Amino acid sequence: MAEASKTTRRRRLGHAVIEVSLMAPWIFFLFVGVFDMGFYAVALICTQNAARAAVAYTASSQATSADAIGACGYALTELNAMPNVRSLGSCNAAPLTVTATYLSQGVDQAPASQVTVAYQTPNLIPMPVPGLAAQFTITRTAQQRVKSALP
C-alpha cells in the first residue's frame, strides 16, 4: 500500500514539472511585455514632466521665452531617471531634442512660450513580435503664457 502511494506522488510531481516547463516560456514572455510597457509608461510621464518644467522656465520672462539651452537643463533634470539621458550635456540630437519657441499669440491670444521635448527610448528587451517597434519616440509639447514685466 505504501509503495502505491509513492508511485502516485512521483507521477504527480512528474506532471507538475511537465506543466511548468510548458508554461514557463509564456509566463516569461508576458513578464517581459509588462516590464517593457512599464518602462515606456515611465518614459511617457517623464517626457511630459520635462516639457512642463521647461516651459515653466521659458515662460518666466520674455527674455527667456525662446531659450532652448535653459529649457534643455530643466528637461535633462526631469529625464535624469532615463538610462540613455544621464550622460547627455545637450539636447539637440537623439535621444533628446528640446526646442523652445516664442509665440506672439498663444492659445488665448496672449504672448506665449512653447517647448517641445522629443525623447527616444532605448531598446530595452527586443521582443519577436512583428510590427512592434524596438524603440519609441515620445514627443510632448507644452505652452504657457509669458509673464509680462510689471510697470
Supply the pTM of this predicted model: 0.79
Nearest alpha-carbon partner for 71 in 137, 117, 138: 117
Say if residue 149's pLDDT is above 60.
no
Mean pLDDT of the region 112-140: 84
Say if residue 73's pLDDT is above 60.
yes
Residue 139's contacts (CB-CB under 8 Å, 6 or more residues apart) are: 47, 116, 117, 118, 119
Q: For position 151, what pLDDT does the model report?
A: 43
Mean pLDDT of the region 106-134: 83
Mean pLDDT of the region 9-23: 79
The model's pLDDT over 32-50, given as tens digits with 9 standing for 90+, comes to 888 888 988 999 999 999 9
Q: For position 132, what pLDDT does the model report?
A: 66
Mean pLDDT of the region 65-91: 92
Distances (CA, A) of 136 to 58, 102, 111, 127, 139: 27, 28, 32, 14, 10
H or E segment and range at residue 40: helix 2-58
Share of the chain above pLDDT 70, in %: 85
- Domain extent listing, the chain: 2-145
